[in-house]
Amino acid sequence: MKTRELLTVLGIVTGMFVVASCEEPNLEPTLTTSTTTLETETTTQALLSTGLVYSETMEGLNPFSTAHDLDVGDWDYALRFVEYPRFRGIKSARFEIREDQPLVASGKRSEITIIKDADEGMQKEMWYSFAVMFPASGYEYDREREVINQWFQDGSPATSLRTQKDRILLETGNTKDTRKQYDIGLIAKNKWHQVVMHFVHSYGSDGLIELWYDGVKKLTIRGGNMYDDILPKWKVGLYKSAFKNGTSDVSKRVIYFDNIKVGNKYANYDLMRPTL
């Protein structure tokens, strides 16, 4: 059960306790309600203190049902849940985009916005993780880049994970002109890769990105990693501007994701590893 669903169930159960207390003539309603509320707040805080804000394993009946939004075409190949290949469990999410497909939100994309606002748990300090697989047939070498993760603000991402020439890359900065690119490593095709990222989202010098790739810490970047604006939203999937511009060496892209997690400031690397 996802964390948000668990909190919803907790709220329903708490409401049942409150009603039952008010119907009991030998109890003080005010005192009982206050006690129940205190217990609920304590339990909720205990859940949040585990650090996990969102978790999607693709195993349920309706994957991504608690994600913020879907920018996915209604054609059958755009997003599917498949039994093979899979990272853990019995299913993974298969995303596909094609050069000749219609536009989705003004681009050639198939993306899920996992989390956006503070109401969904977005904070200044966050953790993100997932397992990803690039198939040899469907993710061939291309000189043009695409986005597989983006922390989106004001029309573009200040920070994003991209691929280009069979390399996985991090691009980050606090303005469009100061973004820098960091090479994380070679993409091994037909193999599941694990990515864990720890952020302090900030426009200023207190910003932080730590990145682990296949269990090895690859980057520690300090400084601004978002625009001078509200906190970004996190998007997972595929977006390729070269398909719109007609400059790509390939005509389609296929990628698989599994065990997508979001953590808050109480999370840590061990909690966020996709293998758990």
This prediction has a pTM of 0.82
Instruction: Please compute the mean of the pLDDT values over residues 198-226 and round it to a whole number.
Output: 97
Q: Across all residues in the chain, what is the average pLDDT? A: 86
Instruction: Please compute the mean of the pLDDT values over residues 100-127 and round it to a whole number.
Output: 96
Instruction: Please compute the mean of the pLDDT values over residues 124-147 and round it to a whole number.
Output: 98
Q: What percent of the chain has pLDDT over 90?
A: 78
Model confidence at 104, in pLDDT bands (50, 70, 90)? very high
pLDDT at 23 over 70: no
**DSSP letter string, 64-93:** TTTSSEEE--SSTTSEEEESSS-SSTT-EE
Give 257 or 36, the one with higher predicted confidence: 257
261 contacts 127 by C-beta, under 8 angstroms: yes
Cα–Cα distance for residue pair 204/208, rounded to 1 Å: 10
Model confidence at 1, in pLDDT bands (50, 70, 90)? very low
CATH classification number, 56-272, choose in 3.40.50.300, 3.30.70.100, 3.30.390.30, 2.60.120.200: 2.60.120.200
pLDDT at 254 over 50: yes
Among 10-19, 103-112, 252-261, the range scoring the smallest mean pLDDT is 10-19
Q: What percent of the chain has pLDDT over 70?
A: 82
Give 48 or 18, the one with higher predicted confidence: 48
Instruction: Say if residue 85 is preceded by a cis peptide, omega within 30 of 0.
Output: yes
Instruction: Please compute the mean of the pLDDT values over residues 6-20 and round it to a whole number.
Output: 37
- Number of neighbours of residue 194 by Cβ within 10 angstroms: 20
Domain segments of the chain as ranges: 3-49, 56-272
Q: What is the pLDDT of residues 28-82, one digit of tens each?
A: 222 223 344 444 444 444 444 589 999 999 999 999 999 999 999 999 999 999 9
pLDDT at res. 275: 84
Secondary structure element (H or E) that encloses residue 5, with its range: helix 3-23
pLDDT at 8 over 60: no
145 contacts 242 by C-beta, under 8 angstroms: yes
